[in-house]
Amino acid sequence: MTPSGGPQVALAVTGCIAAYKAVEVLRALQRRGAEVRVAMTRSATEFVGPATFRALTGAPVMVGEFGDPLEPIPHIALAEWADLLLVAPCTANVAAKLAHGIADDLLTSAALACTCPVMVAPAMNVHMYEAAATQANLALLRQRGVAVLEADSGYLACGEVGAGRLPEPEAVAEAALALLRERTHARDLAGRSVLVTAGPTVEPIDAVRFVSNRSSGKMGYAVAEAALARGAEVTLVSGPVALEPPRGARVVPVATAVEMLAAAEAAFATADVAVCAAAVADLRPARPVARKLKKGADDAALATLELVENPDVLATLGRAKAPGQVVVGFAAETDDVVANAERKLAAKGADLMVANDVSEGRAFGRDENEATLVSATGAEPLPSMAKRALADAILDRAAAALGASSC
Ligand code: PMT
């Protein structure tokens, strides 16, 4: 933050015709109290000169592979200085580099070194924007918590009409600072320990078959990432998922509900907050077998799967909760979402339930989620948002509850 408390924004400008709009984005950021420093790809300088940005920021502009000789390692200095990195406009090429960790110039090296929130504002021809490779790269960036500002549609510089326009500079600046507000918490969980359960459990039937569910782990991993960003020590007890765990989390991989319970109980002993986002199977096969059940010889065993009840991880933690500990559960419902969440809140001894409608393909596997936060003081509906933003909203309430209990 600047001495006056304003945000420090690194504006990365890449080489497309929309680069000229970056001047207006910079002015809009400054009008909102931000201090801005600029990095440009060499191709961006073909569209707008570095002198313009230097005049408007009063600071050296990083260009190409080697920046200002007065700054020995400019990309690291910029990454450490920035409270937010805004890549606007972001070409398809730079989006691909960011998605795959390519760092072949100062701009992409600074982006890779940034630990602050990052937002990219793609701008390109409509066919480039809609290309599978571009969309896959943008999806990969979102999965890593990068905010991707949807391109506007309309008349494009290439004469075509469609998606790919950089949004108006005022809108870009506002979205960037809104992200910073949303993501930047004064490390309010520093010194705290947060336990997160995530992903599905897998309950074996035989050597190759199992009972599981559609949880991808994205919600729990977003909570773990948000808690880390806010300074917490995080233990992530995770069922099998296809996600990279957030850097810095202590990850405990589990498969069954029984294993998840053991890992969660062990971590909860020293946790301030437990957030149980995992989709834990209520039931498991009564008699799993080590071999593969064969059609024909084992038809009876395959046709009638006897199930027995699993332990309830959340309820176990809710019952064991000590004064000062905060327990958050999720309610995955298709009907009477809030009423069912209220019932589970009481039944499981949680302080907060995140009620989400999982009907018609919602929530499971998605990058966004729409939830109602249910507690003893009532139900608070939230709009659909990125799971990372919902994670921060959940942790806001948990942090407040911690603060209340430590008074
Ligand atoms: O993983 P994603 O693809 O991102 O999807 C996110 C999600 C939909 C899985 C997540 O938002 C969510 O709703 N998680 C809870 C899923 C679930 O098991 O809900 P439930 O209503 O069946 O269980 C209620 C609560 O009790 C949950 O906190 C659950 O973790 C817990 N529980 C349930 C059964 C059990 N045996 N042990 C438990 O701890």
Task: Report the residue among 201, 218, 280 best suited for mutation to probe ligand 1: largest number of ligand atoms under 8 A from its CB.
Answer: 280
pLDDT > 90? residue 163: no
Cα distances from 106 to residues 82, 102, 120, 230, 375, in angstroms, run 14, 11, 16, 28, 47
Same-domain check for residues 215 and 347? yes
In-domain check, residue 27: yes
Strand 8-13 relative to strand 35-40: parallel, antiparallel, unpaired? parallel
Whether residue 331 has its Cβ less than 6 Å from ligand 1: yes
CATH code for the domain of 340: 3.40.50.10300
Same-domain check for residues 270 and 128? no
- 307 pairs with which residues across the strands? 285
Atom 21 of ligand 1: nearest residue by CA position: 331
Atom 36 of ligand 1: nearest residue by CA position: 312
In-domain check, residue 3: no
Residue 262 C-alpha to ligand 1 middle, in angstroms? 17
What would the mean pLDDT of 62-71 be, rounded to a whole number?
Answer: 74
Same-domain check for residues 106 and 171? yes
**Percent of the chain, pLDDT > 70?**
95
pLDDT > 60? residue 223: yes
Same-domain check for residues 147 and 210? no
In-domain check, residue 2: no
Atom 35 of ligand 1: nearest residue by CA position: 312
Buried b (16+ CB within 10 A) or exposed e, 308-317: eebbbbbbbb
Same-domain check for residues 72 and 202? no
Residue 333 C-alpha to ligand 1 middle, in angstroms? 9
Atom 17 of ligand 1: nearest residue by CA position: 279
Among 237-241, 317-321, 400-404, which is the least confidently predicted range? 400-404
Same-domain check for residues 248 and 290? yes
Which range marks the domain in which residue 303 is found?
A: 187-405
Q: How many helices (H) and strands (E) does the chain have?
A: 14, 22
Cα(103)–Cα(318) distance, integer angstroms? 46
CATH code for the domain of 164: 3.40.50.1950
Residue 39 has what pLDDT? 94
The closest-lying atom of ligand 1 relative to the alpha carbon of residue 213 is: 9
Residue 220 C-alpha to ligand 1 middle, in angstroms? 10
Cα(13)–Cα(392) distance, integer angstroms? 29
In-domain check, residue 200: yes
The closest-lying atom of ligand 1 relative to the alpha carbon of residue 257 is: 36
Number of folded domains that form the chain: 2
Among 176-185, 262-271, 335-344, 353-362, which is the least confidently predicted range? 176-185
Residue 265 C-alpha to ligand 1 middle, in angstroms? 17
Of 187 and 392, the structure prediction assigns the larger pLDDT to: 392
pLDDT > 90? residue 125: yes
Same-domain check for residues 86 and 224? no
From 184, 205, 225, give the residue that closes a domain: 184
In-domain check, residue 266: yes
Same-domain check for residues 176 and 199? no
Question: Residues 359-374: pLDDT tens digits?
Answer: 999 999 998 899 999 9
In-domain check, residue 290: yes
Range list of H helices, 68-155: 74-81, 92-99, 106-113, 126-130, 132-143
Atom 24 of ligand 1: nearest residue by CA position: 331
Residue 59 CB partners (closer than 8 Å, separation 6+) = 37, 38
From 144, 163, 184, give the residue that closes a domain: 184
**What would the DSSP string read from start to end of 62-84?**
EESSS--TTSSSHHHHHHHH-SE
Among 149-153, 191-195, 208-212, which is the least confidently predicted range? 149-153
Of 281 and 185, the structure prediction assigns the larger pLDDT to: 281
Among 39-48, 203-212, 270-279, 382-391, which is the least confidently predicted range? 382-391
Whether residue 332 has its Cβ less than 6 Å from ligand 1: yes
The closest-lying atom of ligand 1 relative to the alpha carbon of residue 282 is: 36
Same-domain check for residues 146 and 76? yes
Residue 402 has what pLDDT? 92
Whether residue 282 has its Cβ less than 6 Å from ligand 1: yes
Atom 33 of ligand 1: nearest residue by CA position: 280
Residue 23 has what pLDDT? 97
Whether residue 329 has its Cβ less than 6 Å from ligand 1: yes
- Active site residues per annotation: 158
The closest-lying atom of ligand 1 relative to the alpha carbon of residue 217 is: 1
Same-domain check for residues 196 and 294? yes
Cα(392)–Cα(224) distance, integer angstroms? 10
Q: Are 238 and 245 in contact (CB under 8 A)?
A: yes
Residue 241 C-alpha to ligand 1 middle, in angstroms? 15
Residue 230 C-alpha to ligand 1 middle, in angstroms? 24
From 135, 150, 184, give the residue that closes a domain: 184
pLDDT > 70? residue 249: yes
Sheet holding 147-148: strands in order across? 62-63, 35-40, 8-13, 84-90, 118-122, 147-148
In-domain check, residue 226: yes
Amino acid letter for position 148? V
Same-domain check for residues 128 and 209? no
Written as six digits, the tokens of 298 are 């084992």
Written as six digits, the tokens of 372 are 């109602």
Same-domain check for residues 171 and 309? no
Query: Mutual orientation of helices 387-406 and 218-229 as an angle, nearest 10°?
Result: 50
Helix (H) or strand (E) holding 163: strand 161-165
